[in-house]
Amino acid sequence: MLSAHYSPTAEYLGETVTLEHVGVGSDTVKATFRSTEGMVRVEPPDPLVEGDRYIISWPKLRGLDTAALGRGAEVGFTVGPGPDTEAPRFDGLTGIKWDVVRSRDECTDALEERFRFDLAPGTAGDDTSAGSLALVVFQTKGPGIDQNAAPTPVLTQPLKAAGDAGAASDWEPARVELTVPSATGKVCFAALVRDLTGKPSGGAEKEVCTRTTAPPFFYGCRVAPAPLAHPSAPPAGLAALALALFLRRRHRPAP
């Protein structure tokens, strides 16, 4: 299964996906679309040939509120040895940090505040390359989250190695941004990984939680200017000096 992740606002209307078997020929392949993840997926009509090179051309998609086309992609890859038969392994999320960010809305030109969460993935592996795994993050607690309903993914992205690609326990944090009303108070996340055949891992039962405060949650200090004196009054420094000299002269002992 081949997949491409688009922006959450993308809309798939049956655009063509082309798969080229280099040196053999090209086919137009049927695609499916998961709107909750922004994921376009295709299943090649024939088994991929081990060691051969392929090129897949992903289409440019429109946004929900615009007729302008976004970006497509042409991706080349070489088929690895043997099929992927086992489900991936994943220890779940191991940490969470949050902050508030402000960005300017391109449509309204207004500044918007959002919560930004950085989530640390645990150890992950697969019987093929761990670098081909996708991380799927769910918000499990927060305002408006129905505990009795199946959680909806808030992020799907490749599991990215930090530094050494062979260090399967060292992954880049996954960044999730949510609106202030949807993530104020106690907020929890969970995640799993998924391989290229769609098989999911365990680890989604492990949550990481934090408690956020709606902005503005801090009012900075500022230095206020001194009140203006009457125009006829002497400067404050001179007035203090004059008072000191007066008191000194007043209390000088008699000869």
Q: Which pLDDT value is given to residue 115?
A: 95
Q: Which pLDDT value is given to residue 105?
A: 67
Domain boundaries, the chain: 2-78, 89-212
Q: Which pLDDT value is given to residue 202?
A: 95
Can you list the alpha helix ranges (DSSP code H) found in 158-217?
none
Q: Which pLDDT value is given to residue 80?
A: 83
Edge-to-edge, what's the strand order for the sheet holding 185-194?
153-158, 134-141, 185-194, 208-212
Q: Which residues contact 255 (CB under 8 A, 6 or more apart)?
A: none
Q: Which pLDDT value is given to residue 247?
A: 46
Q: Which pLDDT value is given to residue 46?
A: 87
CATH number of 89-212: 2.60.40
Can you list the alpha helix ranges (DSSP code H) found in the chain?
236-250
DSSP label at residue 181: T
| Single-letter residue type at 41 | R
pLDDT in tens, the chain (255 residues): 888 888 878 889 899 999 999 999 999 998 999 887 788 999 888 889 999 999 999 999 988 777 778 888 999 999 888 778 899 999 999 999 999 998 776 666 677 899 999 999 999 998 877 778 999 999 999 998 988 888 888 998 888 887 654 444 579 999 999 999 999 999 999 999 999 888 999 999 999 999 999 887 654 555 555 555 544 455 544 444 444 444 444 444 444
| Single-letter residue type at 56 | I
